[in-house]
Amino acid sequence: MVQQQNRRLNKQDYKTLTLAALGGALEFYDFIIFVFFAVVIGKLFFPPDMPQWLMLMQAYGIFAAGYLARPLGGIIMAHFGDLFGRKRMFSLSILMMAVPTLAMGMLPTYATIGIAAPLLLLLMRIFQGAAIGGEVPGAWVFVAEHVPHKRIGLACGVLTAGLTIGILFGSLVATLINTTMSQEAIFNGGWRIPFFLGGIFGLVAMYLRRWLKETPVFIEMQARKTLAEELPLKSVVVNHLRGVTVAMLLTWLLSACVVVVILMTPNYLQTQFGIDRVIALQANSMAIIALCFGCVVAGLAADRFGASKTFIVGSIMLGISSWMFYHSATNVEQLFITYSLAGFCAGVVGAVPFVLVRAFPAEVRFSGISFSYNVSYAIFGGLTPLCVTYMMKFTPMAPAYYVLGLSFLGLAIGIYLRNDINETESSTEQSPVELKDNTAATIS
């Protein structure tokens, strides 16, 4: 099926985007709610005489385990998604997330069962990681194969914003609990509420996805019998190394923006600068809202100006805004403004899937994105909290230096895309981004 190049998003496109984004938001909430209660979980699931910094490191280590589990789950689901359909795996991933999230809310603590408590927590976190490993790449592929070429940037930007809303929901729930409950009440069971909510919402999202339809691209590949003839992952590794490299580097940039700027910063503001936890979470919510808008703007920019210009300008803005934010974090009066600006500029990650979905041909697209994204996120997303936490032993500005370094990486990728990827104006009939060694990457 040759998609219409000039048509606008229609009613079916909006329905697909809405259901995909809503389900993704609820699943992402399940995956990240852990980090907002990392301090509480660390004190409840590890020995009470453990030093605070080590306790926090251990809690972040369990959080990181979810990232390390992503490649296996993502690759397996992507394999079957390329062979048997996107929709089936898209629905399965959310069930795999909802069940362990509910279980985490019911786990006994260290005081009750000792060392078995963190081990069970680790096991549930691994299941969550396997689920999210198939969710994000599957969502990007799903919406990109439903919309016309010229709206892929917008669609992926909206979907990424939807995933970000899941983080916002987590931040709002954490803010509400910290505002309405005492610390004693939170330690005595209040921390379980977000996990119960997440599990229930996940089951609701799975039900909603029953109304989604298989992508036109996959249906056509089935009709033409052009599905991958060999193991999809083998084809990705052997024939599309350039696409894999670009995708992994872009995922590193994405992980820095999400993990450092959004997920770690509320605890960072409290522990390093003594900012009240409620104020820190409120500022974080504002930054996440700004990030949502930034993702949509980045997607629109990628459609209009191409990936290269989007990443060059966006990375420069990210570096400047994040540096300003972290160096003025002690100024509570400016905190909401500077944090929101950093969040908006971090929205450059909304253009990441625009490149990823075009880096691989349709028959191995799910596997290509899943392998690149999940392996990279397992390495960089999983180790980033540990790395930044360790760096803070030497300088409280560790997050600023880390994000600034990744901003330079984003700038370099933008320049590379200009030199090595054929970009055309959106008025042409070609795909705006197409790797030179992968001319089959356009969505047909």
The whole-number pLDDT of residue 409 equals 94
Does 6 reside within a domain?
no
pLDDT category at 238 given cuts 50, 70, 90 is confident
Per-residue tokens: 91: 């629905």
Beta bridge partners of 434: 422
The winner for highest mean pLDDT among 38-42, 116-120, 338-342 is 338-342
DSSP 220: H
pLDDT tens-digit series, residues 370-382: 888 888 887 887 6
Structural domain contains residue 4: no
Residue whose pair of structure tokens reads 């048509």 in the numeric block: 7
Residues in the chain: 444
Tokens 């990628």, located at residue: 302
* Range in 59-63, 104-108, 246-250, 399-403 the model is least confident about: 59-63
pLDDT(434) > 60: no
Candidates 371, 104, 125; CA nearest to 248 is 371
Structure tokens at 265: 């910063």
- Give the model confidence (pLDDT) of 314-352 as tens digits: 999 999 999 999 988 888 878 999 999 999 999 999 999
Confidence of residue 263 (pLDDT cuts 50, 70, 90): confident
| Buried b / exposed e along 227-257 (16+ C-beta atoms within 10 A) | ebeeebbebbeebbeebbebbbbbbbbbbbb
**pLDDT exceeds 80 at position 307:** yes
Q: pLDDT grade, residue 56 (50/70/90)?
A: confident
- The whole domain housing 60 covers 11-441
Rounded CA separation 346/256 (Å): 9
Note whether residue 282 is domain-resident: yes
**pLDDT of 420 over the 80 cut:** no
Residue 215 belongs to domain with CATH number: 1.20.1250.20
| Whether pLDDT at 161 is above 70 | yes
Amino acid of residue 179: T
Three-state secondary structure string covering 234-251: HHHHHHCHHHHHHHHHHH
C-alpha torsion sign, points 170, 173, 176, 178: negative
Residue 301 lies in a domain: yes
Q: Is 191 among the domain residues?
A: yes
What whole-number distance in Å separates Cα of residue 43 and Cα of residue 22? 33
CB 376 within 8 A of CB 409: no
3-state secondary structure 248-265: HHHHHHHHHHHHHHHHHH
3-state helix/strand/coil string of 301-319: HHHHHCHHHHHHHHHHHHH
The answer to whether residue 152 is domain-embedded is: yes
Task: Grade residue 77 by pLDDT with cuts at 50, 70 and 90.
Answer: confident
Distance CA 174, CA 102 (A): 17
Q: Is residue 118 part of a domain?
A: yes
pTM: 0.77
- % the chain with pLDDT above 90: 21
Task: Write out pLDDT tens, residues 145-159.
Answer: 778 878 888 888 988
Mean residue pLDDT across the chain: 80
DSSP states of 144-162: HTTS-GGGHHHHHHHHHHH
Check residue 175 and give its pLDDT.
Answer: 81
Of 27-31, 208-212, 272-276, give the range with the top mean pLDDT: 272-276
What is the amino acid identity at position 369?
A: I
| Residue 100 CA from chain centroid, whole number | 19
Indicate the range of 104-113, 182-191, 264-273 predicted with least confidence. Answer: 264-273
H or E segment at 292? Answer: helix 277-305
DSSP string, 30-79: HHHHHHHTHHHHHHHHS-TTS-HHHHHHHHHHHHHHHHHTHHHHHHHHHH
**Domain count within the chain:** 1
Helix, strand, coil share (%) of the chain residues, nearest 5: 80, 0, 20
3 falls within a domain? no
User: With pLDDT > 70 as the criterion, what percentage of the chain qualifies?
Assistant: 85
